[in-house]
Amino acid sequence: MNVRQPAVAGSFYPGSREGLRKEVENLLGSVDLPLISGKILGGMAPHAGYMFSGQAQAYLYKALEPLSFNTAVIIASSHYAFYQGASVYPEGAYLTPLGEVKVAEEITKKLLDYPEFNYVPSAHQREHSIEVQLPFLQVIKGNVKIVPIVVSEFDLELTERLGKAIHEVTAGRNDVIFIASSDLSHYPPYEIAKKVDNEILKRIVSLDPEGLHESAVLLRRERGVSTAICGEGAVLTLLYCLLEKGVKEGKLLIYYNSGDVEKFMREEVVGYGAVIFLS
């Protein structure tokens, strides 16, 4: 069996089984969720080291914990490999210190029938943005399977096709949850980050992929922010998928940035938010 080895164990999160489980359980235990009404279809969570983004991740996974699902489609954006479209890990498993997470091959094989999806090994080898979501899933849903998707070069039309393809291969299934892995702005000063992230989050919770893309472009130009949303391609793909599934509402669970974690480091910060999407 093809097993993808952990790339950031011991750096982004604890490298030992006991240490990792304890940290995830502690993060989940610290969550104070707002009232949620409606059926949760999916969500967005960040992908930094747990010291920074773990709290936001915990909010999403605490919201997902009561749900009945056995498969998670995780859509991420590539940090290291560059190619057109999306790479889907086709078979086998991802390994973390908590054990193996098997790939939902009945879904990945169908996705690979679409021309927008390929398997690019380098897209998965070093990529942390899927890996850091897995321990949370392992703690809340022990035997969950995953569909690991990494989006690289994209435009709006492509992400719409990706989202529709994901919808089509999962249509009629009530046991699948959909997650986009994305941080928010990268490296503006603290106060600018809050303004940029607020604009981006407004577009996300209003279920507006076109507006999200326009805002990301404008904020880079007008605010001089190198990255307005780290996983834009992943979030656009998720939004287009969930629009096909009848999503009605996005709800922000928590927002903060790295300057709230390390208050003496506010000259250059990274934004983190957790969002759920409801039908």
Reported as a single tens digit per residue, the pLDDT across 235-248 is: 999 999 999 999 99
Q: How many residues does the chain have?
A: 279
pLDDT at position 143 is 93
| DSSP of 34-56 | PP--S-EEEEEE--S-HHHHHHH
pLDDT at position 226 is 83
pLDDT at position 258 is 97
Question: Measured between alpha carbons, how far is 271 from 269 in angstroms, rounded to an integer?
Answer: 7
- For residue 65, count CB atoms less than 10 angstroms from its CB and return exposed for 0-12, middle for 13-18, buried for 19 or more: middle
Domain ranges of the chain: 3-30+39-278
User: Can you list the positions of beta strands (E) in 204-267?
Assistant: 249-257
Question: Measured between alpha carbons, how far is 125 from 144 in angstroms, rounded to an integer?
Answer: 21
pLDDT at position 221 is 77
- With CA atoms as reference, report the closest residue to 234 among 146, 138, 154, 133: 154
Q: Which fold has domain 3-30+39-278?
A: Protocatechuate 4,5-dioxygenase; Chain B (3.40.830)
pLDDT at position 1 is 79
Evaluate whether 70 touches 174 at the Cβ level (below 8 Å).
no
Decide: pTM greater than 0.85: yes
The alpha carbon of 75 is separated from its chain's Cα centroid by a whole number of angstroms, namely 6
Q: Are strands 145-151 and 86-88 parallel, antiparallel or unpaired?
A: antiparallel
pLDDT at position 220 is 82
**SS3 label, residue 70:** coil
In the chain, which stretches have pLDDT less than 50? none
